């Protein structure tokens, strides 16, 4: 487990560059807390970019050119979730407009992390609107960041590695999995339509064990339960539909031999579950998205499928050759570990602040 080393960080105080971050909290994903820890360690004070934070003195920080505004998932603000789908929200759109106004009037630079191609679970009008919203934010931001290196050009962005959840500071150890003659396959995280779990169950081989765990909507869970009953999969598939604490999620990962990532290729750039699993779980099976193709070339324990009909054959092949199939080794920390992320993020944000300083000096001259 890495330890935070602040010896090289700038001293805390008014002179330190501020990163104003939105959202500042996320109770269902440790990613935001990891980002805050990372920014703090590389020498920045991290403040909430929210209405409350601005009223408590943060507003003045918008007009300091050495500061940086960092946004994650801003495109989700104009939408609300109803019955498993993302729908247009008037109140959410007003909040979105508020943040866009801050970006336009601020002298601080804006960094927008592009996590998705489109807002999850949107269809029809809402999907077209989401595409326009995301395109607008990308144009509005001064810098864009992607966690998938093969989308730097498309989004005019800089690649920064997604930190490994298990290699970040403060992570508690989990009990190791007992050895087994049969592998445990797992689908972990939120249970939502864009992950296409229903298609996985329609094709799942009944002789192989699958664990599905995470929080889901009533409508989508009903769909999954209908498939389980119709295909008589209850003996092979365990559906644990509930919110998972960080400790529970980590233990599920520790109990997993093979993690499955069937996410739709047109929705998200990368899967958070991949960064929970790579380096800890022996094997990964994923839909052949651009990022996962890159990952498969980098790590020898990543198996890809183009069509869901290919999944049963891959699952059966792994099961029949288990445990020999689990011998692959990876060096995930070289690319996504805490030290690697610290180095890459420090270089990027120094360039952001440095470029701003150059611009300001040119204006003065």
pLDDT tens string 89-113: 999 999 999 999 999 999 999 999 9
Number of H-type helices and E-type strands within the chain: 12, 14
Kindly tell me if the per-residue pLDDT of 191 is higher than 70: yes
Kindly tell me if the per-residue pLDDT of 323 is higher than 90: no
Peptide bond into 122 cis (omega under 30): no
In the chain, the percentage of residues whose pLDDT exceeds 70 is: 90
- β-strand partners of 72: 113
What's the mean per-residue pLDDT of the chain?
89
| Phi, psi (degrees; rounded to nearest 5) at 270 | -135, 165
CA dist 173 → 27, 56, 213, 275, 296 (Å): 20, 38, 20, 16, 27
Tell me the whole-structure pTM to 2 decimals: 0.88
Between 357 and 256, name the one with better pLDDT.
256
Mean predicted confidence (pLDDT) in 136-150 = 97
For the chain, list the domains and their CATH numbers.
Answer: 18-163+337-364 (3.40.50), 185-334 (3.40.50.2000)
Distance CA 107, CA 50 (A): 17
Q: Residue 232 class from Cβ within 10 Å (0-12 exposed, 13-18 middle, 19+ buried)?
A: exposed
Mean predicted confidence (pLDDT) in 6-14 = 46
Give the pLDDT confidence of 164-185 residue by residue, as tens digits. Answer: 999 988 776 666 666 678 999 9
Give the pLDDT confidence of 243-292 residue by residue, as tens digits. Answer: 988 888 888 998 999 999 998 878 889 999 999 999 999 999 999 999 99
- Name the residue among 329, 303, 299, 307 with its Cα closest to residue 317: 303
Kindly tell me if the per-residue pLDDT of 214 is higher than 60: yes
- β-strand partners of 157: none
Q: What is the pLDDT of residue 184?
A: 95
Q: Which residues contact 328 (CB under 8 A, 6 or more apart)?
A: 282, 283, 299, 300, 301
Kindly tell me if the per-residue pLDDT of 355 is higher than 60: no
Chain position carrying tokens 């489109």: 118
Which range (24-28, 179-183, 246-250, 338-342) has the least confidence? 179-183
Distance CA 14, CA 55 (A): 18
Instruction: Place 4 in a pLDDT band, splitting at 50, 70 and 90.
Output: very low
């Amino acid at each position: 487990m890495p330890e935070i080393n602040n010896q090289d960080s700038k001293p805390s105080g008014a002179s330190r560059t501020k990163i104003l971050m939105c959202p500042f909290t996320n109770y269902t994903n440790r990613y935001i807390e990891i980002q805050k820890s990372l920014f703090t360690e590389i020498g920045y004070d991290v403040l909430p970019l929210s209405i409350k934070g601005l009223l408590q003195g943060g507003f003045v920080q918008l007009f300091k050119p050495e500061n940086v505004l960092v946004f994650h998932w801003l495109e989700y603000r104009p939408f609300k979730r109803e019955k498993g789908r993302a729908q247009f929200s008037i109140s959410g759109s007003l909040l979105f407009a508020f943040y866009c106004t801050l970006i336009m009037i601020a002298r601080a630079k804006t960094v927008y992390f592009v996590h998705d191609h489109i807002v999850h679970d949107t269809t029809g009008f809402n999907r077209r609107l989401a595409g326009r919203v995301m395109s607008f934010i990308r144009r509005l931001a001064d810098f864009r960041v992607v966690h998938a290196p093969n989308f730097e050009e498309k989004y005019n962005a800089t690649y920064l590695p997604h930190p490994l959840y298990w290699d970040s500071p403060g992570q508690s150890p989990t009990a190791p999995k007992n050895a087994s003659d049969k592998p445990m396959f797992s689908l972990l995280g939120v249970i939502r339509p864009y992950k296409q779990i229903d298609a996985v169950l329609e094709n799942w081989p009944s002789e192989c064990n699958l664990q599905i765990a995470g929080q889901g909507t009533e409508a989508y869970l009903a769909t999954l339960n209908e498939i389980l009953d119709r295909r008589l999969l209850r003996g092979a598939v365990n559906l644990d539909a509930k919110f998972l604490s960080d400790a529970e999620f980590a233990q599920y990962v520790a109990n997993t031999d093979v993690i499955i990532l069937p996410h739709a290729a047109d929705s998200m750039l990368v899967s958070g579950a991949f960064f929970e699993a790579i380096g800890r779980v022996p094997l990964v099976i994923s839909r052949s998205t651009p990022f996962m193709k890159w990952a498969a070339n980098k790590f020898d324990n990543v198996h890809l499928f183009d069509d869901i009909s290919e999944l049963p054959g891959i699952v059966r092949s792994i099961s029949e050759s288990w445990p020999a199939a689990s011998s692959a080794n990876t060096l995930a920390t070289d690319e996504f570990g805490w030290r690697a992320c610290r180095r890459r993020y420090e270089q990027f944000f120094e360039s952001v602040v440095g470029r701003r300083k150059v611009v300001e000096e040119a204006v003065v001259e």
